[in-house]
A = this chain, B = another copy of it.
Amino acid sequence: MTTPNDLLLQVLAGKETPRPPVWLMRQAGRILPEYRAVRSRLSGFKELVETPELACEVTIQPVDLLGVDAAILFSDILVIPEAMGLPYQLIEKVGPRFEETISCKADLDRLHPVEPEEHLRYVMDAMRMTRAELDGRVPLIGFAGAPWTIFCYMVEGGGSKEWSKARRMLRSEPVLAEELLDRITEATILYLNAQVAAGAQVLQLFDSWAGALSAELFERYSMPRLKRICEEVKGAPLIVFAKGASWQLDRLAQLPCAALGIDWHTPISEARKRAPRHVLQGNLDPSVLYGTEAEVRAATQRMLSDFGRGGHVANLGHGVYPDINPDRVRDFIDEVKRSGH
């Protein structure tokens, strides 16, 4: 039996460790041939998300094949709107598509509260199975989308560059918008607490579209709900990753969460200045992994040195791209691991 690796838990608890733990957003799925082999046998991405045995298998692949210090459950942030009553499809090369969206009070009234063990049983089963299967080798991370990010999809019905329909609702129908955001927030709290009960040891909240909000909208619509989630979710340290929102890091630093994710646009020194008491996670530009081994190692060294010792979870500043060579990912991981010697 291998020694349990709890580096991530230690760092998130504020302890000193010989080196930062390392994992990658989107490490499960996308880049590994072993993942593609599983995926190619299936009708689509959602079948994988909804089949606990398979979600468990691809969640553990990067632990075995890449040597990361944590597993993150293979799933999708859009399971929450679906559980609330808005089903979606993932269309190859296009992205998610919701047939129905929320544009008025009547739409809102068709949504229902989420019972995780009922509506999201497949996630809970996958979590239990993966936790058992990991057997303590590395911590297991659960996750959810932040309310604003989920709101974006529920209002727009799919991806968008500007999310102007979603922002239009904030400006023109603030009462409706607040109610939808509150419902998502409540569902997310139940969902994350259920993930902890099912075995998640760390949680990450993805606010992927935080960058679409001005400081004013972020403050009014997003901050109170992020804070509520931080306060109501218990039993596992929480990492809040608000992509594109680094100008709001001063505000994010007021959140009672264990760590803040930093995107790859944010200068590390600025992040440390704006959020001095939080563990920070990130932030290598994923495109560095398109370079040579030497370039990957040098860039990783620079990143480690910019973050300095302690209070750092090494990661990319965004999800890994599908066409990245897994060997370059291994070089990144290896370079972080070598920093402990």
A interface residues, Cβ below 8 angstroms from B? 159, 161-162, 164, 167-168, 170-172, 211, 214-217, 244, 246-247, 264-267, 270, 285-288, 290-291, 295, 299, 318, 321, 323
What would 15 more interface pairs be, CB under 8 Å, given A162-B321, A211-B265, A215-B267?
A159-B161, A161-B161, A164-B321, A167-B287, A168-B321, A171-B288, A171-B290, A172-B291, A214-B264, A214-B285, A217-B285, A217-B287, A244-B244, A247-B266, A247-B267
Q: Is B318 within 8 A of A287, CB to CB?
A: no
Q: Is A295 within 8 A of B171, CB to CB?
A: yes
Which of A164, A265, A287, A288 lies at the interface centre, i.e. has the most chain B CB atoms within 10 A of its CB?
Answer: A287
The docked-state distance in angstroms from the alpha carbon of A295 to that of B216 is 12
- Which residues does chain B contribute within 8 Å of A285, judged by CB atoms? 167, 214, 216-217
> What 5 A-B pairs are tightest by C-beta distance, nearest first?
A171-B290, A167-B287, A214-B285, A168-B290, A171-B291
Chain A binding surface, main DSSP class:
helix
- Which residues does chain B contribute within 8 Å of A214, judged by CB atoms? 264-265, 285, 287
Query: Per a CB cutoff under 8 Å, which of B171, B286, B287, B323 touches A287?
Result: B171
Chain B residue at minimal CB-CB distance from A250: B267
Give the distance to chain B from A252, nearest Cβ to Cβ, in Å: 14
Give the distance to chain B from A210, nearest Cβ to Cβ, in Å: 10
Q: Is B270 within 8 A of A323, CB to CB?
A: no
The docked-state distance in angstroms from the alpha carbon of A170 to that of B290 is 9
7 A-B pairs, CB-CB below 8 angstroms? A164-B286, A164-B321, A164-B323, A167-B285, A168-B287, A214-B264, A217-B285
The docked-state distance in angstroms from the alpha carbon of A270 to that of B171 is 25
- Which residues does chain B contribute within 8 Å of A264, judged by CB atoms? 214
- Which residues does chain B contribute within 8 Å of A265, judged by CB atoms? 211, 214, 244, 247
The docked-state distance in angstroms from the alpha carbon of A264 to that of B286 is 26
Which of A172, A265, A299 lies at the interface centre, i.e. has the most chain B CB atoms within 10 A of its CB?
Answer: A265
The docked-state distance in angstroms from the alpha carbon of A167 to that of B287 is 6
Give the distance to chain B from A4, nearest Cβ to Cβ, in Å: 35
Give the distance to chain B from A38, nearest Cβ to Cβ, in Å: 23
Chain B residue at minimal CB-CB distance from A163: B287
Question: Contacts A162-B321, A247-B266, A267-B247: A290 and B172 contacting too (C-beta < 8 A)?
Answer: yes
The docked-state distance in angstroms from the alpha carbon of A318 to that of B211 is 14
The docked-state distance in angstroms from the alpha carbon of A161 to that of B323 is 15
Q: Is B168 within 8 A of A323, CB to CB?
A: yes
- Which residues does chain B contribute within 8 Å of A244, judged by CB atoms? 244, 265
Give the distance to chain B from A2, nearest Cβ to Cβ, in Å: 34
Give the distance to chain B from A194, nearest Cβ to Cβ, in Å: 31
Give the distance to chain B from A127, nearest Cβ to Cβ, in Å: 29
Give the distance to chain B from A323, nearest Cβ to Cβ, in Å: 7
Question: Contacts A265-B211, A265-B247, A266-B247: A164 and B217 contacting too (C-beta < 8 A)?
Answer: no
